Amino acid sequence: MRILVVDDQKLNRDLLKIMLEQQHYDVVTACNGIEALEVLDSGPVDIVLLDVIMPEMDGYETAPKIKQRSKDVYLPIIFITSLDDKESFERCLALGGDDFIHKPFDKIILTAKIKAHSRTRKLSLEAQKQNRLLEYHNNQTEREHDIVEHIFNNALENQHDFPDNIDFHLSPASMFNGDVFLVAQSPIGSLYCMLGDFTGHGLAAAVGALPTSKVFYTMVNKGMAVSDIANEINTLLVKLLPGNMFCAATIIELSSSGKSVSAWLGGLPDAYVINQHGNVLKTLESQHMALGILETHEFERELIHFEVDSTMRVVLATDGIIETTNDKEEYFGEHRFIDLLAEKPSISCDDIIHHVTHFAQGEKQQDDLSIVLFNCLQIPQQKGEQESYSPLPFNMSLSLNSTQIKTTDPVLEIVDVLTRISGLRAHRSDIFLLLSEAYNNAVDHGLLGLDSDIKNQEDGFLEFYQQREAALNSLQGAMIIVDMRYCPTSLCLYFTICDSGNGHKSSASDGMSLSREHGRGISLLEEIAEHVTYNASGNQIEMCYKLT
């Protein structure tokens, strides 16, 4: 503790200095207010003993200036005075004085007063330190929240990409939302959405949304089934979340035609399918435990499937809506919710939230409120960009001997290599079909001489492939040559498949017949390819496939 003694009389200064130094205080002195302020400016002081009447700058003038210099921390000013009129006491207090000590000095009183004020000073210093720390942490938290908010906004970005199909409203009970709503479209055009409610609310509940969204988007991009997505997110959450946290969720997929819906329902309140008047056509009850509880091997993947049309809507909500309470502590409840849906045609999420908020009558929102209205409309498929075609003229050729024909199934591997050529990947299914039909014809009929009529008999299909396997096992001295050429100028692929067999008749002339299980291959091939020609002996086929 450092004490500043301000007095114009040397005797008083020395006396106080000695008395205080005996108590092990550090003492500095000044002769008037101006000097006192200089001392204060040059280093920290904890208590000021201030004489009232001094030349240059007296105590009355000095006290407010001292207080001004120490706004944040309590700096006690004890007036040294011989005055004892009430008026001057009041003046001292009004100008910032905290206490008085009378001349002549009483050692015991002085010590007691200094002790008391130094305690207060210490507390104030401590409080200031804690305030600074608190402020620092506040700023830190605010900055971190900003960053996290930014990440959340980016992670959950495409909720607004399908305004015709999806109307939704999310209102978190605190800054971060423990409810998560995700939307995405698969490459084949079906539209997926997931509404999830993590245990609790706020940041702790919201953190699970990030990894969940990542898995969701990745899997939708691959066009995976809803049951696979649910399973994958469950596996992730079981691993990540603490034991007392989980995520009640509904995941639905609307097929690209807009006609059918598959849904996985785990732990959210009932979802509804409603018609254009808002009447409930179907109630979708939760089927499973929430995500993040069951281990992968016990996870229940069962979905529900149902047909829909363009007038129907699926309504999803978290428990925040039905559990909203009013001032009479009544729940909003399922009945009010169902009635509300039918209150007017094509009700919007804003309408619903408006009603629920009105019902709550200013009661504080207890939980995150989320509602999704999913219109079962066919959705235009987002066109993937066609990769540019390679300008290089590629040639590829394979000669397969008996061993290779017996032990491999080369078509897919050839397709994989061929579709590395820029631009061909988009055609991989067609290329596979052409090669598969031509190659299998060469093997089945050219080399093995199998008769497709077997396929028409009861269980003939299986029989045919059993015969094929047996015949293939004893194959010797055979060969199949596959030639492929990519022409960048005509944008065509040319295939020649030649086998060492005795030639076989194509059954293409039979045309398309749904009643027979074979002969379809050649016709299909002729539809997909631009030209198909056979040589005279029937052991070679040439095909041209146009890429544009």
Bridge partners for 543 per DSSP: 495, 532
Look at the chain and count its residues.
548
Q: Given the rule CB under 8 A, which of 121-129, 176-184, 329-337, 432-440 is the region that contacts another protein?
A: 432-440
461 interacts with another protein by CB under 8 A: yes
CB of residue 231 to another protein, shortest distance in Å: 11
335 interacts with another protein by CB under 8 A: no
Angle at 311 between CA 305 and CA 313, to 5 degrees: 55
How far apart are the C-alpha atoms of 180 and 509, rounded to whole Å?
Answer: 58
Based on its alpha-carbon atoms, the radius of gyration of the chain, rounded to whole angstroms, reads 43
Return the residue of 113, 169, 355, 455 that touches another protein, per CB under 8 A. 455
282 interacts with another protein by CB under 8 A: no
CB of residue 389 to another protein, shortest distance in Å: 17
- Please identify, using beta-carbon distances, which residue of 62 and 255 lies nearer to another protein: 255
How far apart are the C-alpha atoms of 59 and 55, rounded to whole Å?
Answer: 10
Q: DSSP readout, 24-77?
A: T-EEEEESSHHHHHHHHHHS--SEEEEESS-SSS-HHHHHHHHHHH-SSS---E
How would you label 137-163 residue by residue, b for 16+ Cβ within 10 Å and e otherwise? eeeeeeeeeeebeeebeebbeebeebe
Within 8 A by CB and 6+ apart from 490, the residues are none
Tell me the per-residue interface mask from 259 to 278 with another protein, x by CB under 8 A, - otherwise.
Answer: xx------------------
415 interacts with another protein by CB under 8 A: yes
250 interacts with another protein by CB under 8 A: no
- Please identify, using beta-carbon distances, which residue of 178 and 258 lies nearer to another protein: 258
Sign for the CA dihedral angle at 293, 298, 303, 304 comes to negative
1 interacts with another protein by CB under 8 A: no
- Please identify, using beta-carbon distances, which residue of 154 and 407 lies nearer to another protein: 407
Closest CA to 101 of 112, 91, 90: 112
223 interacts with another protein by CB under 8 A: yes
How far apart are the C-alpha atoms of 113 and 79, rounded to whole Å?
Answer: 12
Q: Which residues, numbered 395-414, are part of the site for another protein (CB under 8 A)?
A: 409, 412
Return the residue of 436, 467, 500, 507 that touches another protein, per CB under 8 A. 436
How far apart are the C-alpha atoms of 91 and 98, rounded to whole Å?
Answer: 11
Return the residue of 289, 475, 524, 544 that touches another protein, per CB under 8 A. 524
Closest CA to 501 of 521, 477, 465, 520: 477
CB of residue 464 to another protein, shortest distance in Å: 9
309 interacts with another protein by CB under 8 A: no
Q: Given the rule CB under 8 A, which of 75-83, 101-109, 135-143, 433-441 is the region that contacts another protein?
A: 433-441
126 interacts with another protein by CB under 8 A: no
222 interacts with another protein by CB under 8 A: yes
512 interacts with another protein by CB under 8 A: yes
Q: Tell me if 359 sits within 8 A of 337, measured CB to CB.
A: no
305 interacts with another protein by CB under 8 A: yes
475 interacts with another protein by CB under 8 A: no
DSSP at 207: T
By CB under 8 A, name the binding residues for another protein: 186-188, 190, 222-225, 227, 255-257, 259-260, 287, 301-305, 409, 412, 415, 427-430, 432-433, 436-437, 440, 455, 461-462, 465, 512, 514, 517-518, 520-521, 524, 527-528
